Chain A
């Protein structure tokens, strides 16, 4: 997508592993994250996302391998890493009987920022995340969305180079999610921050991430931007096109199948097109898979075979499909093993 991969990675994970007794939480993970990008760590609950993040911050020691963040080994020098990396845990908590401003100033002072500067910086950030009016309210009264926004301000107050957000969108209403993501994207684009966010909310991550990594059972099974990922799906078509046609006929089917590059033609309701049960009038939706972009050819084929074309939709693989497909694969593998 972008050419940021040329630079030196900000986060470098090399063969990182973590086990809890018999259970392997993270299994020989290799991952590079480059400056200025937004990387989404995707995976179901218990996939080892949070454990990986904790190891990046030196809050948990890996069993083997190393995590190098901003050129520093996070396991050996967690203090240096924590100075440069802002981390927002999932379901971030604040001191409830203190005001939002107090909480931010406290974090700033833990980072050795003198109090007057901490105050002005906190106010700027509160304004930025839209909590300026609530600055003097106790955080105990805050809603979940406000807490997450305050969490973002809390992460930013130390002027980090990298921010790591663990499930930042969990439990916020759609509008709140949109605002939060816009804010994150804005930060990354305008201030060159590297953002790593973990989530299992695919759609949200899809909107803002440059690259995503799919994480299942402690393993990174795929990473890259969404186009790359969809192409990595083994044995699955790279392009899908949906056509609404009427009337349905065998000749149409043959015509569609005859288009070069088409690998599969299926009726949308799942019935085999060859059965011909739906022959006749009425609009029928067919899903066509192909190895290249055959949208235009399909339209031509449909019309020249005498059918009316009501709709034509080239489908891109969404993260959802990718995610789902990978998990199906993962389950199969497990069953086989």
Chain B
């Protein structure tokens, strides 16, 4: 473990020294380190694969669909409903009409799918094809292999998410002819970053399953099961718990609030909930708080205007940290599992 930490340090040191000429630096080093060779290869494999083409197709469809929804809604005069006309550009990502899903809904739905699709057979397919033991017998750290899988996947996800975001922004710009302010642009960028982290979490979970299960199908299924669990059942369970916890005495305000706070906390264990709240807060500057309760003083003293970009980010900062923490946790589990496994050919 310390070996790759040191190597990372080395790599970081190298890049910071050569920040002005990174490409020349790469060419100058006699041979790229095995870690980056693996990342390159993984990335190349993803790009060439059929599954990437299919994912790209779905994503493009989602992009066109959400744009269609947004433009129809905006034409119908949704800007008066959707919020401040100041944030017309942002509403392109959030408004919907006739029950059609908007961009954010598409994203929260597709993100886990992308993550699972990229990671579910990362380790077990190498194992079953007999390439894992061959690669491991090269002078390569065992953890480098896993980290390379993750980094390559995350890079790919970042590329997909950002190109999707920019595509919607660009096409929207052409269609509605209303340019974004720098603040709006910043909000979208941060939202896309959060999306990348969120997809990264799902990638990590599916990596975990691909280490744990020898069959790619089992691993894909477990990934999808977890996804459906958080999408459908987790909310139900939280509600169930909530109903049981609610104080029977309706005048018990403190008890009521405690129960509600606990519920919020519980529901925020779900990465889907975290992402939903974080992304919508960023895209809807009108959201002033994510707490279910606002005291009278707070409501009375609040200025009735949208939050600034910085304040919105501050509001969702805990969500971002929680998402990163969950990602790290599942990576740690994957790491532990992988390091303890014995590598034999095809087993």
Nearest 5 A/B pairs, CB to CB = A93-B130, A89-B345, A87-B137, A110-B138, A93-B129
Asked whether A110 and B135 contact (CB < 8 A) given A93-B130, A96-B129, the answer is yes
Asked whether A110 and B345 contact (CB < 8 A) given A59-B136, A96-B129, A154-B134, the answer is no
Which segment, of B30-38, B99-107, B188-196, B208-216, faces chain A?
B30-38
B137:A82 contact, CB within 8 angstroms:
yes
CA distance A93 to B137 in the complex (A): 13
- Write the nearest CB–CB distance from B316 to chain A, whole angstroms: 41
Chain B CB count within 10 A is highest, among A89, A95, A113, for A89
Known pairs A59-B343, A96-B129, A158-B138 / 17 extra A-B pairs, C-beta < 8 Å: A50-B345, A57-B137, A60-B342, A82-B137, A85-B137, A88-B134, A89-B133, A93-B134, A94-B131, A97-B48, A109-B32, A109-B37, A111-B34, A112-B34, A112-B139, A114-B30, A166-B345
* A225 located at the interface, meaning its Cβ lies under 8 Å from any Cβ of chain B in the complex: no
How many chain-B residues does the 8 Å CB contact rule pick out? 27
* A317 located at the interface, meaning its Cβ lies under 8 Å from any Cβ of chain B in the complex: no
- Write the nearest CB–CB distance from B331 to chain A, whole angstroms: 23
A79:B141 contact, CB within 8 angstroms:
yes
Closest to B32 in A: A109
A: interface residue count bin: 35 or more
A158: chain B residues at CB < 8 Å are 138
A-B CB pair tally, cutoff 8 Å: 85
A114:B131 contact, CB within 8 angstroms:
no
CA distance A59 to B346 in the complex (A): 15
A106:B346 contact, CB within 8 angstroms:
no
B115-171 interface with A by 8 A CB criterion = 129-131, 133-141
B134:A92 contact, CB within 8 angstroms:
yes
B31:A109 contact, CB within 8 angstroms:
yes
B131: chain A residues at CB < 8 Å are 93-95
* B41 located at the interface, meaning its Cβ lies under 8 Å from any Cβ of chain A in the complex: yes
B141:A113 contact, CB within 8 angstroms:
no
A54:B31 contact, CB within 8 angstroms:
no
* A90 located at the interface, meaning its Cβ lies under 8 Å from any Cβ of chain B in the complex: yes
CA distance A115 to B37 in the complex (A): 10
- Write the nearest CB–CB distance from A242 to chain B, whole angstroms: 42
- Write the nearest CB–CB distance from A98 to chain B, whole angstroms: 8
Closest to B130 in A: A93
A111:B138 contact, CB within 8 angstroms:
yes
CA distance A79 to B137 in the complex (A): 9
A54:B30 contact, CB within 8 angstroms:
no
B134: chain A residues at CB < 8 Å are 87-89, 92-94, 107, 151, 154
* B9 located at the interface, meaning its Cβ lies under 8 Å from any Cβ of chain A in the complex: no
* A293 located at the interface, meaning its Cβ lies under 8 Å from any Cβ of chain B in the complex: no
* B84 located at the interface, meaning its Cβ lies under 8 Å from any Cβ of chain A in the complex: no
A109-153 interface with B by 8 A CB criterion = 109-115, 151
* B344 located at the interface, meaning its Cβ lies under 8 Å from any Cβ of chain A in the complex: yes
CA distance A57 to B134 in the complex (A): 12
A182-239 interface with B by 8 A CB criterion = none
B45:A95 contact, CB within 8 angstroms:
yes
- Write the nearest CB–CB distance from B3 to chain A, whole angstroms: 8
Asked whether A114 and B48 contact (CB < 8 A) given A54-B342, A158-B138, the answer is no
A50:B38 contact, CB within 8 angstroms:
no
B345: chain A residues at CB < 8 Å are 50, 89-93, 166
B176-195 interface with A by 8 A CB criterion = none
- Write the nearest CB–CB distance from B149 to chain A, whole angstroms: 14
